[in-house]
């Protein structure tokens, strides 16, 4: 992630409360800092402006050589003037200030504490991460804390996304919270509480309505409570070597693309398979806390692999783990370990 952090203004565009991130970049703030301070110290004290795309006609006179390209705009930073991308005229921009204001409203409602915010990729993405509460142990001293992530982009690479995630304290691995549903599609019935949405994605062709997103996310603590109950049940489910073997092979096969005109390679001969099995066997960070040979350890083997090893660099790993293929792999892993727990009778089908 360190290489992704925006430094175009001369300092790292990231601010945090509490312990410094592993990369040691950014500005430490005191708890309860106001939003104006967050804007300034997180490198988000700029707006994203737009102007029509202009081009020069080769054989026109000097007076009318510049032409505007209809329906296409350049997005650029107000502070540095740097271009961020070319977008359609209907592209809806969520300003950096709106991201922080989103968390400000949640803090006013109580319970949420903004812990980290900043800009990535020269300001093409901005994000914030707020802690929901102090968390709780899944097993023994293996503590997990719930967070809410909000991120948006100015280059069309991702929709504005608000999602719940859980972070394992011992290793900072991000565990995708999938006990709810996405964008209002309910995956589990709860007749007493109603649907709890785990992730809301707003395409840039739609206007971002912060109030509606907060409402769609539903009852935050209910989503966390559901997830924690299931995680604790996973810690009680023993997993055999044969089950782990099938889990790892099936998981990797689900994302393996066959070379054109050739059959799939033996996934068990791959480095990824061998590494997943090693992590499950005790090589993962925090194995002394979560134990080995459980469904919880199996899930953490996948998150450890996605967050720290999968991908060609720290930058691609972080992007993938939060928003891309890595996030999808963790969701598949969650569903697969839940299936193991259901087979063992620990979780209702």
What digits encode the pLDDT tens for the residues 170-195?
777 777 665 444 443 333 322 223 34
CB 130 within 8 A of CB 113: yes
Q: Which of 195, 219, 243 is the last residue of a domain?
A: 219
Strands 197-202 and 181-182: parallel
Residues in the chain: 349
Residue 71 lies in a domain: no
Confidence class for position 238, pLDDT limits 50, 70, 90: very high
Position 281 pLDDT exceeds 60: yes
* pLDDT score at 175: 76
Residue 40 lies in a domain: yes
Average pLDDT over residues 107-129: 89
* pLDDT score at 157: 85
The distance of Cα 180 from the centroid of its chain, to the nearest Å, equals 16
Position 1 pLDDT exceeds 80: no
Residue 230 lies in a domain: no
Q: Which of 193, 219, 245 is the last residue of a domain?
A: 219
Residues 240 and 211 in one domain: no
Residues 184 and 300 in one domain: no
* pLDDT score at 181: 46
Residues 161 and 247 in one domain: no
Residues 265 and 194 in one domain: no
pLDDT in tens, 318-348: 554 455 567 788 889 999 999 999 999 998 8
Residue 87 lies in a domain: no
* pLDDT score at 262: 61
Taking alpha carbons only, the member of 291, 54, 334 closest to residue 166 is 334
- Sorted by sequence, the CB contacts under 8 Å of residue 333 that are 6+ apart come out as 251, 298, 299, 302, 303
Residues 209 and 330 in one domain: no
Q: Look up the domain containing 272 and give its range.
A: 235-343
Residues 289 and 140 in one domain: no
* pLDDT score at 261: 61
Residues 22 and 127 in one domain: yes
Strands 66-77 and 142-153: unpaired
Residues 181 and 307 in one domain: no
* pLDDT score at 306: 86
Position 277 pLDDT exceeds 80: yes
Q: 24-28, 224-228, 331-335: lowest mean pLDDT where?
A: 224-228
Residue 74 lies in a domain: no
Position 236 pLDDT exceeds 90: yes
Average pLDDT over residues 191-220: 72
Residues 250 and 212 in one domain: no
Structurally, how many domains does the chain consist of?
Answer: 2
Residue 72 lies in a domain: no
Average pLDDT over residues 223-227: 81
Cα 328-253-333 angle, rounded to 5 deg = 40
Taking alpha carbons only, the member of 199, 34, 95, 159 closest to residue 15 is 34
Q: What gap in Å lies between CA 42 and CA 27, rounded to an integer?
A: 7
């Amino acid at each position: 992630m360190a290489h992704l952090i925006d430094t175009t203004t001369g300092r790292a565009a990231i601010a945090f409360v509490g312990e410094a991130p592993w990369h040691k970049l950014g500005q430490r703030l005191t708890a309860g800092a106001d939003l104006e301070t967050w804007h300034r110290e997180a490198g988000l004290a700029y707006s994203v402006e737009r102007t029509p795309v202009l081009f020069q006609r080769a054989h026109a006179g000097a007076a009318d050589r510049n032409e505007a390209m209809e329906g296409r705009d350049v997005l650029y930073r107000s502070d540095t003037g740097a271009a961020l991308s070319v977008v359609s005229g209907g592209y809806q921009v969520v300003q950096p200030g709106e991201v922080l204001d989103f968390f400000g409203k949640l803090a006013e409602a109580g319970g949420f504490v903004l812990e980290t915010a900043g800009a990535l990729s020269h300001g093409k993405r901005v994000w914030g991460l707020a802690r929901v509460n102090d968390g709780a142990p899944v097993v023994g001293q293996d503590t997990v804390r719930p967070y809410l992530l909000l991120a948006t982009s100015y280059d069309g690479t991702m929709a504005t996304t608000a999602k719940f995630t859980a972070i394992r304290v011992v290793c900072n691995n991000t565990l995708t919270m999938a006990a709810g549903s996405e964008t209002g599609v309910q995956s589990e019935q709860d007749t007493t509480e109603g649907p709890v949405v785990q992730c809301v994605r707003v395409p840039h062709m739609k206007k971002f309505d912060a109030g509606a997103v907060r409402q769609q996310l539903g009852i935050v603590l209910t989503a966390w409570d559901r997830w924690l109950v299931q995680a604790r049940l996973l810690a009680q489910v023993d997993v055999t070597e044969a089950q782990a073997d099938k889990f790892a092979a099936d998981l990797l096969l689900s994302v393996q693309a066959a070379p054109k005109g050739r059959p799939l390679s033996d996934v068990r001969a791959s480095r990824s398979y061998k590494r997943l099995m090693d992590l499950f066997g005790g090589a993962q960070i925090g194995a002394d806390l979560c134990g080995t040979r459980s469904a919880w350890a199996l899930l953490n083997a996948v998150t450890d692999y996605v967050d720290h090893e999968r991908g060609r660099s720290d930058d691609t790993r972080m992007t993938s783990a939060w928003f891309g293929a890595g996030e999808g792999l963790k969701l598949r892993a969650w569903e697969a370990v839940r299936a193991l727990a259901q087979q063992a009778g620990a979780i209702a089908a």
